[in-house]
Amino acid sequence: MKLITAIIKPFKLDEVRESLSALGVQGMTVTEVKGYGRQKGHTEIYRGAEYAVSFLPKLKIEVAVKSEMADAVIEAITSKAKTGQIGDGKIFVTPLEQVVRIRTGETDGDAL
Amino acid sequence: MKLITAIIKPFKLDEVRESLSALGVQGMTVTEVKGYGRQKGHTEIYRGAEYAVSFLPKLKIEVAVKSEMADAVIEAITSKAKTGQIGDGKIFVTPLEQVVRIRTGETDGDAL
Amino acid sequence: MKLITAIIKPFKLDEVRESLSALGVQGMTVTEVKGYGRQKGHTEIYRGAEYAVSFLPKLKIEVAVKSEMADAVIEAITSKAKTGQIGDGKIFVTPLEQVVRIRTGETDGDAL
Amino acid sequence: MSFSKMKRLGVGIGAGLGAFAVSVAPAFAADPPPPDFNSGDTAWMLTSAALVLMMTIPGLALFYGGMVRKKNVLATLAQSFGATAIITILWMVIGYSIAFTANPDANVNQFIGGFSYAFLAPMGVNAAYGTAPHQIPESVFMFFQMTFAIITPALIAGALADRMKFSAFLWFMSLWLLLVYAPIAHWVWGGGWLFTAGALDYAGGSVVHLNAGTAALVTCLVLGKRIGYGTENMAPHNLVLSVIGASLLWVGWFGFNAGSAVAANANAGMAAAATQIATAAAALAWMFAEWIIARKPSVLGMISGAVAGLVAITPASGFVDPMGALIIGLSAGVVCYIAAVWMKKLFGYDDSLDAWGVHGVGGALGAIMTGMFASSAINSAGHGWLMDGNFGQMWIQVQDVGGVFIYCAVGTFIILKVIDMIVGLRVSAEVEVEGLDINLHGETVHG
Amino acid sequence: MSFSKMKRLGVGIGAGLGAFAVSVAPAFAADPPPPDFNSGDTAWMLTSAALVLMMTIPGLALFYGGMVRKKNVLATLAQSFGATAIITILWMVIGYSIAFTANPDANVNQFIGGFSYAFLAPMGVNAAYGTAPHQIPESVFMFFQMTFAIITPALIAGALADRMKFSAFLWFMSLWLLLVYAPIAHWVWGGGWLFTAGALDYAGGSVVHLNAGTAALVTCLVLGKRIGYGTENMAPHNLVLSVIGASLLWVGWFGFNAGSAVAANANAGMAAAATQIATAAAALAWMFAEWIIARKPSVLGMISGAVAGLVAITPASGFVDPMGALIIGLSAGVVCYIAAVWMKKLFGYDDSLDAWGVHGVGGALGAIMTGMFASSAINSAGHGWLMDGNFGQMWIQVQDVGGVFIYCAVGTFIILKVIDMIVGLRVSAEVEVEGLDINLHGETVHG
Amino acid sequence: MSFSKMKRLGVGIGAGLGAFAVSVAPAFAADPPPPDFNSGDTAWMLTSAALVLMMTIPGLALFYGGMVRKKNVLATLAQSFGATAIITILWMVIGYSIAFTANPDANVNQFIGGFSYAFLAPMGVNAAYGTAPHQIPESVFMFFQMTFAIITPALIAGALADRMKFSAFLWFMSLWLLLVYAPIAHWVWGGGWLFTAGALDYAGGSVVHLNAGTAALVTCLVLGKRIGYGTENMAPHNLVLSVIGASLLWVGWFGFNAGSAVAANANAGMAAAATQIATAAAALAWMFAEWIIARKPSVLGMISGAVAGLVAITPASGFVDPMGALIIGLSAGVVCYIAAVWMKKLFGYDDSLDAWGVHGVGGALGAIMTGMFASSAINSAGHGWLMDGNFGQMWIQVQDVGGVFIYCAVGTFIILKVIDMIVGLRVSAEVEVEGLDINLHGETVHG
Ligand SMILES: Nc1ncnc2c1ncn2[C@@H]1O[C@H](COP(=O)(O)OP(=O)(O)O)[C@@H](O)[C@H]1O
Ligand SMILES: Nc1ncnc2c1ncn2[C@@H]1O[C@H](COP(=O)(O)OP(=O)(O)O)[C@@H](O)[C@H]1O
Ligand SMILES: Nc1ncnc2c1ncn2[C@@H]1O[C@H](COP(=O)(O)OP(=O)(O)O)[C@@H](O)[C@H]1O
């Protein structure tokens, strides 16, 4: 199995979620994160004190999937989360050795 | 070593933490996340505008452990975080190649 | 490629970010987390009700890098995030099988 | 504002003009003994002015600020705060003069006041408003009216939330104050044609609320919908702020309605009682309507109902008895609920925070119901239909509502179009999506 | 409420009933000249009513809202706001009549007032309260008393936080107002048996605070503890809100205590000074007690102490001199700290936000200490033990405390049991765990 | 405070001392008929005192609390709240006596008042302040002045934010009140040398704002910079709180300035109008200055400008006409912007929340401009340079500013050094980095 982690622009979440559901992905976990990268941030000024805000709000989506589904999921995320603007984000794929559903104790494929 | 990531219901944190300490796990990292899955969410209504809240508050617990401890830890989390209700969450196990303790530079086993 | 995950003390973020940029790391993702470990927390008291706060605010930094850069990055983080006090945090290294840049669809090395 | 107040008005202005001499003289001579001001009435009017100011900052600012998305909360507060500042200055410069002084030409005076009070130059320290034994310093009356002039345009912000340029907003507030509010205030309270016609508007149901609500409707139609309206989640980010705001609006409204007696007297007392009763009734009416229809009584519904009740009782307070207040409140809660929840959906305009649905609809409803429930037993200046059999008053109230609606709608439309041509009304899509706080003001909430 | 106020009361009601004619007449005749109201007293009472309303919304709402967990903050605000709305209407319908009008049957009048004031029908615009030269419109007095009637039941919410159904809550507020508060207010302020006995309760130490506190104690015992009490972390989610709330309670309390003079006079001034001194003293006393015992001076402790001082000085303000106020304040800070921190642990009830520990205990303490420190040099109506050697007053105060405690405890218990049978008092475990905001009101704080 | 107020003062004190007999007598005899207090003036002064208290809690507390980092917000609120409590008690114990009673020795009286009013013992319920027909109870005047004594030291907290021990803070507030504020208040308002010299300070430009601002400057120099100043991100954590605070400061300030007339009269009215105009003008001036220079109009800038305007008009309100107020406001907005943004950078001190930049600079500016724009046409007690050709007043104002600055600077320095030796001023580096809330008060915001 694979753990697919995507960093996306916040307002893209719903589109991505729907396309994944369409693929039959039954669940995902989302985290509010701050991203640093090529996309440049803002400057805040308070009574003359300037603060560069180099970290921008992003969402991190984590989806555990069977290996065979990985490409389809990556494809779906890429197409939906893309705006073409700098800062669209990244997708990371890491190996997933085991999955357990806490409620039932089911493991791996059955747990997804 | 393994990195064990569990998504649980928020109010289960303390129980889980205690059972892990009992196992001799010396540390963990917790993140507030939002989860989407079989458990259905709520609907909020503001002056007639309905918003389906399909993401529910969950906690993500990350624990790095020696491989031989993985099963015990998984077992402990499963038993403590379980309510039997949909939405109890998942456990993901991923390989962990290296660990460093920043304070001392110790690595791997010693770093945990 | 490797996904390097570091748990550090919040006020160390800027130093770490600068040292990574200096290494040519172009991006990173930061998450606010709560950490439990050797470093002991506080007690809050409200009208006699005591609550032990065993989870302390930390930052989780995730950096995807080419394998050959891993050691330099780990070295940089360790040196910058270190205070010598308990609670400085940990670094975890996990294998990264694939990376995609959403904006361009570039993969792996080019996506970083 | 009550007829009793209108009666005083002529005198007030007289005193004001008379005061011209007074305030010029001193440079050359010593002050004449000041008129014998009524300290109790003065105390209440000073308090009332402070209460009405509190309605806008922080009251309205928080009521609106809590309803927008977090990325726009500071920009929303900036609108109320900025409006307060710029309107204060324009009111001093010429607004008060246009609204509350008599135009030398009696015909012109039907529509607009004079300009002699520019910069309040003629207003000496001893200038008086009202007739003994109920005189108060004109400075206090001018300040009290200033706070009305501040909140009225500020209310419009509810319809343009999340998408208007701050520069355009300040232009809009300024032009609208001088070209729409000040003349209409003159019509009804300053001796203009509705005043002559005998329209009953105790504290501003048409002048303030219908007026602001109408402008809000026009504004959201001209601006267009927020990006993502209907698809994205636009849930209020923090209703705690809105509850604080609504509560301060409720508390401050006693300065608004009871203060409109321009005295600490029986009219003020009855206006206060009517205000409290109608507000509570409307809060309950909206709450139960929603409880029945949407299955849950929302906090936003309760506070929206309260504001609807405050709006609807505004023209009636001081003319109606407790029973009339109860009925007006109950009606307002239900009618405004329908307006905000159904009518908006039906027509599909994006009156983001329901400035039209609550203030426009509630203000019109209140103005009409004032004609129905005004009772000469409560205020000899107001003979209504049901209590006094004076059906004619209904027609006058309709004129009041119609006149304000039409003039305001046309005026607002023209003003917005002009501003759009010159500075542009709406922020860019990027700015709107990313948020106004960081882009317009360079700040964000880190809390 | 001060004896002077009580004296006026008969007259007030008289005028009220007399006003019946007045308010019926006008339909047929012209208004008689209104009584010569004191504009200064009227101004202060209008201001006081607004201040006391501000105590509940947003004051109390925020004080409590900040202390609960984030998942319940909107539900907690809804309790204060909803109570304000429903009590306002019931007070107009019949509450004021029960509490402040005379019952035709003198014996019955010892316990409960009349019903002739239903819907305030007899209250004409010129109905007066008090005796010249200190008359104010009865509408103002009715409104002022209404704000007391609002906050008293609302205070009880501190004991039932996080676990009561909103429907049950509204039923509770309504029944408790009419069956417990209104009669007790009549006993002490409306000419009832404690009034006759000469109990001293300037602004409501027993009628308001002991009464609400006792009901709170009974309520938390009937409801049982919150799920997870003692094991889960129930730390206040945002004390910033509680500090705002406590501050507005403090500020508004001048309307409560100084307003209870029902005039802008020397009694009001001394009551204000005593209130300020006792509140500060109690805040410091609690703060230092906690600093010594728990090693840190908490913000929650400081504001809790301030509220304890406000509560304890309530019955005494207007009767005691600054020195007496200082002593009462210091005592209240320490005693309420012990009640909230130790007594609660000892007996193990879950008075979630310490409504009993602060209002019940503080109110009883204040009532007793009023008997000790009341000084005829400050108010000729109050002869106390230490200053005037009138030990007898102590016994009257004990009756006052005992009578209120017993009647309130029994009445509250019965009301709760009845509601529990009909609609059920407590939410389901799932709802309680997941939070009231989303489940009862369909809203959450996203900020 | 206005000269008219000063005139009354002698009488006030006289009445106060006279009241000694009054308040002792009653134990033996019946009360003499109370003086005939002006209920309107009393109503306004009670209201004013409540408004000024609201300026500190929650006003100032939130204004400052929103500007600090989240880890210190509760500690910042605790400073305002704690100062309110401890100063209230010390003012009752001896502060009022030092500031507002006459010292038996006429020479000593130039610098400090008497001690006979310790614990307010001589202040009977009928003690009067002012001359008929404008007498008010002295209890009200004492309470009103108490609220000034509270906010002045509390303002200093803006300079010591994020790094002072709470114990040291309470010591500082206490000693500074008695050794710096009370004497200076006596100089200007209590019959001291500046009073004799005829300095014009209507509501406390020098006594309150320059005084607090100077102390703030000295404090931040003695304390040193916050750890990470200039390198770490110290952005205000939640400007919503600061906007609420600034709004309540604005609203409450009418009690401060108009209340300083100690009557509900024409002076109060003109002071209120001037305050509103100057505040709005300063908010706009700062906003536009920033808009031009920093390219964006920040919300923090708008509210900072408003406060700067309130500060600068404080000594002038009641002496200047609307035009003068406009000019003073515009100047204050620009000058304080320069002080807070450039001067601070230039000299590199860490006046964390700009207590010196806004209150010190704005207070001095206002004091000087009062000499320029005071107009005898507005207040016969104030003859200024431009309006009345009385250039001499400028020199008196300079003495006022210089005297307050020097005495305050020296006094503050000594007090801080003593406290530093005994309890230590600053928290440890660990505590400062981790945050004051958890370490000093054992609480955090979980919201
Ligand atoms: N090497 C990296 N490791 C982890 N996260 C990264 C890395 N590079 C970028 N990111 C994340 O991806 C987001 C977008 O990256 P950015 O370079 O700004 O735009 P783009 O991906 O379009 O080139 C960043 O905000 C950050 O959260
Ligand atoms: N495929 C997945 N990838 C990542 N997280 C998941 C996945 N499926 C479920 N989750 C997480 O687990 C939580 C519980 O899953 P859910 O399907 O609701 O209940 P259950 O695990 O009991 O079947 C979700 O809220 C989500 O956070
Ligand atoms: N086994 C673990 N798994 C995941 N995170 C850990 C683990 N041990 C420690 N951490 C994280 O590292 C942080 C610091 O660890 P701690 O033991 O307190 O100090 P140190 O790393 O200096 O020994 C913890 O707050 C926690 O976030």
Q: Chain F partners of C46 at a C-beta cutoff of 8 Å?
A: 443
Chains that touch B (3 or more CB pairs under 8 A): A, C, D, E
DSSP one-letter string for F221-247: HHH-PPTTTTTS----S-HHHHHHHHH
DSSP label of F146: H
* Residues D236, B51: C-beta atoms closer than 8 Å: no
Number of residue pairs across B and C with CB atoms under 8 Å? 78
The Cα–Cα gap between D113 and D306 comes to: 34
Cβ D58–F377 below 8 Å, yes or no? Answer: no
Q: Which helix (H) or strand (E) holds C62?
A: strand C56-65
Nearest CA of chain F to the CA of A42: how many Å?
13
Cβ of C87 closer than 6 Å to ligand 3, yes or no, is yes
For residue B23, the chain C residues in CB contact (below 8 A) are none
How far B16 CA lies from chain C's nearest CA (Å)? 12
Report pLDDT digits (tens) over D59-108.
999 999 999 999 999 999 999 999 999 999 999 999 999 999 999 999 99
Both tokens of residue D299?
């906090």
Query: Looking at per-residue confidence, does E21 or E182 come out higher?
Result: E182
- Write the DSSP symbol of residue D264: S
| Predicted pLDDT of residue F145 | 98
Q: Which residues contact F435 (CB under 8 A, 6 or more apart)?
A: F69, F71, F72, F75, F444
- Which CA distances in Å does F364 have to A19, D141, D339, F371? 65, 31, 53, 11
- D237 CB neighbours in chain E (<8 A) are 445-447
d(CA A99, CA A112): 8
Residue-level pLDDT at F373? 98
Is B101 strand, coil or helix?
strand
Q: Are E121 and E96 in contact (CB under 8 A)?
A: no
* Ramachandran bin of F337, using left for φ above 0, alpha for ψ from -120 to 50, beta for the remaining angles: alpha
Residues of chain B in contact with residue C95, where contact means CB-CB under 8 angstroms, are 95, 97
Structure tokens, E202: 């300037």
Q: What average pLDDT does the segment B65-94 reach?
A: 96
Q: Is B84 in the pocket of ligand 2 (CB under 6 A)?
A: no
- CA–CA distances in Å: residue E216 to residues A53, D293, E52, E157, F213: 49, 33, 21, 7, 46
Contact A16, A80 (CB under 8 A): yes
How do residues E141-163 score in pLDDT, each as one tens digit? 999 999 999 999 999 999 999 99
Q: For residue B86, with 0-12 CB atoms within 10 Å meaning exposed, 13-18 middle and 19 or more buried, which class applies?
A: exposed
Gap between the Cα atoms of B20 and B15, Å rounded: 9
Look at the block and give the residue holding tokens 């107040």: D5
Calculate the CA E346 to chain-centre distance: 27
The pLDDT of residue E33 is 67
Give the nearest partner residue to F272 out of D87, D143, D166, using CB atoms. Answer: D143
Q: CA nearest C2 in A: which residue? A: A94
Structure tokens at E283: 């805040």
Strands B98-101, C56-65: parallel, antiparallel or unpaired by DSSP? Answer: unpaired
Q: How far is the CA of A29 from the centre of ligand 2 (A)?
A: 7
Interface with chain A: mutation pick from B32, B85, B90, highest number of A CBs within 10 Å: B90
Q: Which residues of B touch A96 (CB under 8 A)?
A: 92-94
Give which of E39, E53, E129 to mutate to test D binding, by max D Cβ within 10 Å: E39
Q: What are the respective helix, strand and coil percentages of chain F, to the nearest 5? A: 70, 0, 30
For D18-72, the pLDDT digits (tens) are 222 223 333 344 455 678 899 999 999 999 999 999 999 999 999 999 999 999 9
Torsion from C-alpha of D403, D407, D413, D418, nearest 10 degrees: -170
Write the Ramachandran bin of D119: left for phi over 0, alpha for psi from -120 to 50, otherwise beta: left
Do the chains contact at E304 and C44, CB–CB below 8 Å? no
| DSSP structure string for E338-378 | HIIIIIHHHHT---TT-HIIIIIHHHHHHHHHHHHH--TTT
Taking CB atoms and an 8 Å limit, are B44 and D234 in contact across chains? no
Chain F residues with beta carbon closer than 8 angstroms to that of A48: 294, 340-342, 344-345
Q: What residues in chain D have their Cβ under 8 A from chain B's Cβ atoms?
A: 233-236, 294, 296, 298, 300-301, 304, 340-342, 344-345, 354
A59 lines ligand 1 (CB under 6 A): no
Is the CB of F443 less than 8 angstroms away from the CB of C11?
A: no
ipTM of predicted complex = 0.94
- For every residue of D41-87, DSSP letters joined together read HHHHHHHHHHHHHHIIIIIIHHHHHTTS-GGGHHHHHHHHHHHHHHH
The percent of residues in chain E predicted with pLDDT above 90, rounded, is 91
CB atoms closer than 10 angstroms to residue E391? 12
Tell me the three state secondary structure of residue E284: helix
What residues have CB less than 8 Å from D19, skipping those under 6 apart? D122, D123, D124, D126, D127, D128, D138
CA angle E1, E3, E6 (to 5 degrees): 80
For A58-86, what is each residue's pLDDT tens digit? 999 999 999 999 999 999 999 999 999 99
User: E319: which DSSP letter?
Assistant: T
pTM: 0.95
Helix (H) or strand (E) holding D14: helix D3-24
* Tokens 């989860």 sit on residue: B35
Distance CA E318, CA E3 (A): 10
Are the Cβ atoms of D442 and A11 closer than 8 angstroms? no
**Least distant ligand from the CA of B73:** 3
C touches D, CB cut-off 8 Å, minimum 3 pairs:
no
User: By C-alpha distance, which of A58, A68, A47, A48 is closest to A5?
Assistant: A58
Residue type, E265: N
pLDDT of residue C108: 83
Place of tokens 């006008």: E26
Q: Does A95 have pLDDT greater than 60?
A: yes
Q: Which of D284, D309, D411, D409 is nearest to D365 (CA)?
A: D309
CA dihedral D333, D334, D337, D339 (to 10 degrees): -110
How far apart CA A16 and CA E100 sit, in angstroms, is: 64
Q: State whether E238 and F447 contact (CB < 8 Å).
A: yes
pLDDT given for residue C111 in this prediction:
84
Chains linked to F by 3 or more Cβ pairs within 8 Å: A, C, D, E
At E12-21, the pLDDT tens digits run 222 222 222 2
The pLDDT value given to residue D130 = 95
Choose among E233, E296, E300: nearest Cβ to C47: E300
What percentage of chain B exceeds 90 in pLDDT?
A: 88
Closest CA to F244 of F119, F36, F62, F51: F62
Give the residue carrying structure tokens 């609504």: D246
D neighbour chains, 3+ CB pairs within 8 Å: A, B, E, F
The H or E element containing residue B46 is: strand B42-46
Q: What pLDDT tens digit does each residue of chain F (447 aa) get?
A: 333 333 333 222 222 322 222 233 333 444 456 788 999 999 999 999 999 999 999 999 999 999 999 999 999 999 999 999 999 999 999 999 999 999 999 999 999 999 999 999 999 999 999 999 999 999 999 999 999 999 999 999 999 999 999 999 999 999 999 999 999 999 999 999 999 999 999 999 999 999 999 999 999 999 999 999 998 999 999 999 999 999 999 999 999 999 999 999 999 999 999 999 999 999 999 999 999 999 999 999 999 999 999 999 999 999 999 999 999 999 999 999 999 999 999 999 999 999 999 999 999 999 999 999 999 999 999 999 999 999 999 999 999 999 999 999 999 999 999 999 999 999 999 999 999 999 999 999 997
pLDDT in tens, chain D (447 residues): 333 333 333 222 222 322 222 233 333 444 556 788 999 999 999 999 999 999 999 999 999 999 999 999 999 999 999 999 999 999 999 999 999 999 999 999 999 999 999 999 999 999 999 999 999 999 999 999 999 999 999 999 999 999 999 999 999 999 999 999 999 999 999 999 999 999 999 999 999 999 999 999 999 999 999 999 998 999 999 999 999 999 999 999 999 999 999 999 999 999 999 999 999 999 999 999 999 999 999 999 999 999 999 999 999 999 999 999 999 999 999 999 999 999 999 999 999 999 999 999 999 999 999 999 999 999 999 999 999 999 999 999 999 999 999 999 999 999 999 999 999 999 999 999 999 999 999 999 997
